[in-house]
Chain A
Amino acid sequence: MTPHDYTFLQGFLKDRSGLILSNKEYLVQGRLEPLAKKHGLNGISDLVEKIKSGKKDIETVVVEAMTTNETSFFRDKNPFDQFSETVVPRLVKARATKKSLRIWCAAGSTGQEPYSIAMCLKEMGALLKDWRIEITATDLSREVLAKSEAGRYSQFEVQRGLPIKLLMKYFQQSGETWQINADIRAMVKHKQFNLLSDFGALGRFDIIFCRNILIYFDEPTKTGIYKRLAKALEPDGLLALGAAETMIGLTNAFVPSPGLRGFYAPNPAAAA
């Protein structure tokens, strides 16, 4: 990969996905070199030439390869404990008449996060009996969404964060892989979606998980997404961010939710 190729890919990926690459040559090399080989090309320079010549299928696979992120079941554990112990019980009280909850996983990736949420809700049993629960998992990559829809994971994947009792309860073993049960899969609706686009068509949500994805965007892009996320939430809804993420100095669209780590509420003062 030449410096020109890298510069081109930086601009191309920012335009198409908002992804910011600074000093990430190793990441580009590591992800696109195997992709080039898979498509019978000599290397990243050939991939760049294909993109420049307008090969849409190559554009898509390059964006997907660069935007697929590390994930695991119950990643960081604490957000899911808070979700089950505080966030959902609080919303259940507030929605007692409506009996409906809409949850959005904005970077659903290969499904570990949306299915972790679905398992948390299933574990609540009677509390959510007769409720209409909608979990929408979106991602830019069609490939990871297809994996998420299949709900099939390797032995390594099911051991990262997934308690053994939940593995036994909600998965079926098939040789070396484990597939999440159909009733849990049915709780999650999948949709290809670019966070740079308008959120209006998705409607309003009670909870949005947007964890460990905005770290890849530049500040103006992040600020714009935060503003649109605030509008996509019900006034008493909550946004969950990754443990290392902060919006301090970026936007006043949200305020930290008291007593909840990593959860943010839309700021009524900013919405006014």
Chain B
Amino acid sequence: MKMCLVVDDSSVVRKVARRILEGLDLQIVEAEDGEKAIEACKNGLPDAILLDWNMPVMDGLEFLHKLRRMPDGDRPKVVFCTTENDVAHIARALEAGADEYIMKPFDKDIVAAKFREVGLI
């Protein structure tokens, strides 16, 4: 079973994302900010990361930069999931190595489409 790390400071969003992703046969690990996500990745790289942008301690973009510099850090598929829905933010995310981008609000169909796009389901 493929593993997905859900990184979001909102417990509600993490819960909704967990329910959707478990329905897509993914095993879920959660982190509430970028720093905790880095710790989780040091314990074992997931196959996918659903990543919020605006979080306390370390935001999603900084996390992504650090992840991509880790050994094998280019392996996990990273899908941003954020309220930042303008082209400037999307461009920065892609430049930093994001594979896909979800603009909140999201639903099951959107998450499934994006994870299918990056070959995770």
| A residues neighboring B (CB under 8 Å) | 72, 77, 155-156, 159-161, 163-165, 167-168, 173
Query: Quick check: is B114 within 8 A (CB to CB) of the other chain?
Result: yes
Complex Cα distance, B106 from A156, in Å, reads 8
Task: Kindly list chain A residues whose C-beta atoms are within 8 Å of the C-beta of B4.
Answer: none
Query: Quick check: is B49 within 8 A (CB to CB) of the other chain?
Result: no
Residues facing A in B74-121 (CB within 8 A) are 85-87, 90-91, 94, 98, 100-103, 106-107, 109-110, 113-114, 116-117
B116–A164 touching, CB < 8 Å = no
Complex Cα distance, B109 from A167, in Å, reads 17
Task: Kindly list chain B residues whose C-beta atoms are within 8 Å of the C-beta of A167.
Answer: 90
Task: Kindly list chain A residues whose C-beta atoms are within 8 Å of the C-beta of B98.
Answer: 164
Task: Kindly list chain B residues whose C-beta atoms are within 8 Å of the C-beta of A159.
Answer: 102-103, 106, 110, 113-114
Task: Specify which of B86, B101, B107, B116 is in contact with A77 (CB 8 Å cutoff).
Answer: B116
B109–A168 touching, CB < 8 Å = no
B91 — nearest CB in chain A belongs to which residue?
A168
Complex Cα distance, B117 from A159, in Å, reads 11
Given contacts A155-B85, A163-B117, A173-B86, contact A168 B103 (CB under 8 A): no
B94–A164 touching, CB < 8 Å = yes
Count of interface residues, chain B, beta-carbon cutoff 8 Å: 19
Given contacts A168-B87, A168-B94, contact A72 B100 (CB under 8 A): no
A159 — nearest CB in chain B belongs to which residue?
B110
Task: Kindly list chain A residues whose C-beta atoms are within 8 Å of the C-beta of B87.
Answer: 168, 173
Task: Kindly list chain B residues whose C-beta atoms are within 8 Å of the C-beta of A163.
Answer: 100, 117
Given contacts A155-B85, A161-B113, contact A168 B90 (CB under 8 A): yes
Complex Cα distance, B103 from A159, in Å, reads 8
Task: Kindly list chain A residues whose C-beta atoms are within 8 Å of the C-beta of B107.
Answer: 156
A172 — nearest CB in chain B belongs to which residue?
B87
A160–B113 touching, CB < 8 Å = yes
Complex Cα distance, B113 from A156, in Å, reads 11
B109–A160 touching, CB < 8 Å = yes
Task: Kindly list chain B residues whose C-beta atoms are within 8 Å of the C-beta of A164.
Answer: 90, 94, 98, 100-101
Task: Specify which of B85, B86, B110 is in contact with A160 (CB 8 Å cutoff).
Answer: B110
A–B complex contacts, Cβ < 8 Å, 16 sampled: A155-B85, A156-B107, A159-B103, A159-B106, A159-B113, A160-B110, A161-B117, A163-B100, A163-B117, A164-B94, A164-B98, A167-B90, A168-B87, A168-B90, A168-B91, A173-B86
Choose among A77, A159, A160, A163 the residue with the greatest number of B CB atoms under 10 Å from its CB: A159
